[in-house]
Amino acid sequence: MALRGIGLGFFAFCLVGWFVGDVVFHNAGAGFFPGLVAALWAAWPLFAIHTSQRADFLHPLPKRYPVNNQVAFTKAIEFLREFSYSFGDRWHIVTADVASNRIVADLRFFDEESHPEAAGRGISTRTVRVQRRIRLEAQFDASYSAETIVKLNFYTQIEGFNFRACDAIITEVKDSLDMLLCGGIEVGASRPFKLSAPPVWLLGVTALMLLFLLGDTQKALSGQ
């Protein structure tokens, strides 16, 4: 969705920039700022949808599992202690509080990324190691004697350019817990997406652009 927003924004930038600069004012420079504002307006809704989808992915709805609270808590701890990533990185259990039925765990791991850099006769790539961090917060609530409601929250810190670098691990944790706890049923209704009002900064940039357009219009009229 973010890539679609970038693509749509680029298209709006080219179209509006060309129309304002070449068609209206016959000055290519006059179309740059309006084109940029048009790109922001075109991309903003898609980025808002992307943000909402990321929130749903990192903070999914709670699930009810057909196992008691003690079994669910113990299996989750065992899974986190056994899980390892490609460089041998493991989850570090920060909190495993039986009284509050809460688990907090951190995973730090390294990946390799290819970064472009300027070379003598062009652009080359350099492979670098970058660090990722995932924090998992899991809350276990006993709904009935033989069932448990589990709420998962994930928080990420990502170095480098791949903002989805942690997604595969997060998905694996979700799927593995589902399997270990014998499958779960989502509790509660999904959060419907609702596009909020445009941000203040976007309205401010738009107002500034309109002032520039007014100035260009006055200059064009006075020159005729």
Cα angle for residues 163, 168, 170 (degrees, 5° grid): 90
User: What whole-number percentage of the chain has pLDDT above 90?
Assistant: 28
Mean pLDDT of the chain: 82
Tell whether the model's pLDDT for residue 134 goes beyond 90: yes
Question: Residues 89, 144: one domain?
Answer: yes
* Unique residue bearing structure tokens 């509790």: 187
Report the number of distinct structural domains present in the chain: 2
| Mean local confidence (pLDDT), 59-66 | 92
Helices (H), the chain: 2-18, 32-58, 69-82, 167-180, 200-222
Domain span including residue 32: 2-55+196-222
HSE-up of residue 28 (Cα within 13 Å, Cβ side): 1
| Residue 107: predicted pLDDT | 93
d(C-alpha 85, C-alpha 14), whole Å: 44
| Mean local confidence (pLDDT), 53-68 | 91
d(C-alpha 150, C-alpha 182), whole Å: 13
| Mean local confidence (pLDDT), 55-64 | 92
81 in a structural domain: yes
Q: Using one digit for the tens of pLDDT, what is the confidence trace for 161-198? A: 888 888 999 999 999 999 999 888 888 777 776 777 78
Positive/negative CA dihedral, 167, 173, 176, 181: negative
d(C-alpha 67, C-alpha 55), whole Å: 27
170 in a structural domain: yes
115 in a structural domain: no
Tell whether the model's pLDDT for residue 70 goes beyond 70: yes
| Residue 203: predicted pLDDT | 85
Question: Residues 165, 66: one domain?
Answer: yes
d(C-alpha 74, C-alpha 103), whole Å: 10
User: What whole-number percentage of the chain has pLDDT above 70?
Assistant: 81
Question: Residues 25, 6: one domain?
Answer: yes
Q: How sure is the predictor about 41, in pLDDT bands with cuts at 50, 70 and 90? A: confident
| Residue 48: predicted pLDDT | 81
215 in a structural domain: yes
Cβ-based neighbours of 121, under 8 Å, separated by 6 or more: none
| Residue 40: predicted pLDDT | 83
Question: Residues 76, 98: one domain?
Answer: yes
| Residue 65: predicted pLDDT | 92
Decide: 89 and 107 in contact? Cβ < 8 Å: yes
120 in a structural domain: no
